[in-house]
Amino acid sequence: MSSGRAPRRRSALLAATAMAGVLLLSACSGGTKAGGGGNTNFVTGSGGISTVAKGDRTDAPELDGTTLDGKDLSLADYRGKVVVLNFWGSWCGPCRAEAKHFEKVAKATEDQGVQFVGVNTRDPQKSLALSFEQDFGVTYPSIYDPTGKLLLRFPKGTLNPQAIPSTVVIDRDGKLAARSLAALDAEKLRKMIDPLVAEK
């Protein structure tokens, strides 16, 4: 009798371990994954930051919407600036960890032609996102995108956001230049931004 139960117990344990691994890998993704494919032309460095050489970049998609404080915002308004797009949710632990770093770098690079824009996603109530911004002192605008539709505007095979948090940097010409699919501190964020600020 016991010999029949042991394999069943072992199978259940293996299934539970596999499921735990899947949940760990998905982190705060909120179920929003987009695949790549084809010749992407981007290189992922040791810090997990993917970059594309200036001549190989693709156009960023049109992104617009209403901010958390009720104003209309379009990325097209920031053409000529380096735009740092941060996809976040108030429910996401890593987003909380990186928020203070983003605010610090946003203030430090404002005079260098850098514009930070948040995209708040998967928050069913705007009040949760507003509380997050207040708690962490976030002053740059965030588009409210509770269904995650803006994530889907990025073509597959580009530097598309695939998890929450994700950060995408757009160059002055409106092209996708760098991406991170993990939380960032101030140092890593500057490594993404500074080379684009220096571009002529």
User: Phi then psi for 122, rounded to 5 degrees?
Assistant: 65, 20
pLDDT at 48 over 80: no
Average pLDDT for the chain: 83
Decide: pTM greater than 0.75.
yes
Q: Coil, helix or strand for 169? A: strand
Tell me the pLDDT band of 43, cut-offs 50, 70 and 90.
low
Specify whether the CB–CB gap between 133 and 109 falls below 8 A.
Answer: no
User: Does residue 40 have a pLDDT over 80?
Assistant: no
pLDDT one-digit tens code per residue, 151-164: 999 988 899 999 99
DSSP per-residue letters across 76-130: GGGTTSEEEEEEE-TT-HHHHHHHHHHHHHHHHHGGGTEEEEEEEES-SSHHHHH
- What is the token pair recorded at 94? 């890593």
∠ Cα 55 62 165 (to 5°): 85
Q: What is the pLDDT of residues 121-138, one digit of tens each?
A: 999 999 999 999 999 999
Query: Interhelix angle for 93-109 vs 186-198, to 10°?
Result: 40
